[in-house]
Amino acid sequence: MEKRRLGRTDIHVSSLSLGTMTFGEQNTEAEGHAQLDFSLDRGINLFDAAELYPIPPKAETQGRTEEIIGTWLKARGNRDKVVIATKVVGRTENTWFRNDGSEGRLTRAQIEEAVDKSLKRLQTDYIDLYQIHWPDRNVSGFGSNPTIWKEPKPCDDETSIEVTLEAMDRLAKAGKIRQLGLSNESPWGTMRFLELAERNCWPRVVSIQNAYNLVNRTFEGGLAEITHREQVGLLAYSALGQGYLTGKYRNGALPAGARKTLFDRLQRYEKPGAEPAINAYLDLAEELGVSPSQLAIAFVLSRGFTTSVILGATSLGQLEHDMGALDLDITEEIEGRINTLFQHHGSPCP
């Protein structure tokens, strides 16, 4: 498993990483531990969580994912062998994250409460990569990189990036977090974080966790150059388009136990133009004689701005199959065919 440098730090993470948002909902504690063991044994050292998880977010399950990782860390005694990433929620009307019932904001008090709770659930005294799950400000659309601009309504109580960064600086100096990352952020937001960090000697953002896949290449429009110039690498989530790029939902199929079947939360990949685009890539994989899942993951892995591709699975069989993407080479011919399809279909699923 190739190890890639995390930003400008001395931390190196595996090119594939394990997403854990199914732990505590679709996966039991035992199944979560099995996935963690399996991944570590095969060279994965980066494990990604969030205070929000598992998905779908609910008051009664919130925090279970971190708890499952925490019991694994305690049982295995291997904290020094892994890179633990988790996230603090951005602006949200949900009130179950904070003790006083406040809506989620990226204020100093809320961030400090969030990190202390995550540390307790994870049963560790530091977090390697602490990420802002989404912005405090209103943005044009979730993910912050729309293909159609919709003027966001300003928030009267918007927490400034300065306030958030200063809070992160306090956590870093206290030894509670090692590095800072963003998620679902825009080019403007990313550069603003970098500018303020340099000006005030606050923690420098080392990564950005955004959706990136064959039907959502909006990262390339501005963030890719930031990665190249500023070494803020992509931790790519949704490389499989929430399962659509595996082909399992093709022609309206609803497999038992699949996320769409259980929760019907995949509207991001059901927008106008999505189905013909997805089908085009599924057809390409068939023509090439390769797994559509492995083709989709291998493409994201092959991008120069990608630090790690976050895998999400509900079974060890799925996880093992997805890891096979490491053996698939995106040749110039394959990339050319992918890009031809992209010229026709663009990014219908931002």
- Render pLDDT for 124-137 as a digit per residue (tens, 0 to 9): 999 999 999 999 99
Please check whether residue 113 is in contact with residue 102, taking contact to mean a CB–CB distance below 8 angstroms: no
- Residue 294, domain member (yes or no): no
Omega before 146 within 30 of 0, i.e. cis = no
Q: Is 46 part of any domain?
A: yes
Global pTM value? 0.97
For residue 90, count CB atoms less than 10 angstroms from its CB and return exposed for 0-12, middle for 13-18, buried for 19 or more. Answer: buried
Q: Is residue 91 part of a domain?
A: yes
What average pLDDT does this structure show over 227-241?
98
User: Half-sphere exposure of 326 toward its Cβ, with a 13 Å CA cutoff?
Assistant: 18
Write the CATH number for 216. Answer: 3.20.20.100
**Six-digit token string for 42:** 């095969």
Does residue 86 have a pLDDT over 90?
yes
Whether 337 is in a domain gets the answer no
Asked whether residue 119 carries a pLDDT value surpassing 90, the answer given is: yes
User: Which ranges constitute the DSSP H helices of 174-291?
Assistant: 187-200, 223-230, 259-263, 274-288
Main-chain phi, psi angles of 306, to 5 degrees: -85, 125
Tell me, yes or no, whether 338 lies in a domain: no
Percent of residues, the chain, with pLDDT higher than 90:
99
C-beta separation of 97 from 57 below 8 A: no
Residue 335 lies in a domain: no
Q: What is the pLDDT of residue 96?
A: 97
Q: What average pLDDT does the segment 265-292 reach?
A: 97
- Region 272-286 average pLDDT: 98
**Is the residue at 262 inside a domain?**
no
Q: How many domains does the chain have?
A: 1
Helix axis angle, 161-173 to 108-122, nearest 10°: 40
Q: What is the mean pLDDT of residues 146-159?
A: 94
Quote the mean pLDDT of the chain.
97
pLDDT for position 265? 87
Handedness of CA 157, 182, 83, 197 (dihedral sign): negative
Per-residue CA distances from 95 to 37, 81, 119 (Å):
34, 35, 20
Burial of 71 (0-12, 13-18, 19+ CB in 10 A): middle
Q: Are 241 and 205 in contact (CB under 8 A)?
A: no
Question: Could you list the active site residues?
Answer: 53
**Parent domain of 313:** 3-243+302-330
> Band of the pLDDT at 283, cuts 50, 70, 90?
very high
Note whether residue 313 is domain-resident: yes
Q: Confidence band (pLDDT; 50, 70, 90) for 266? A: confident
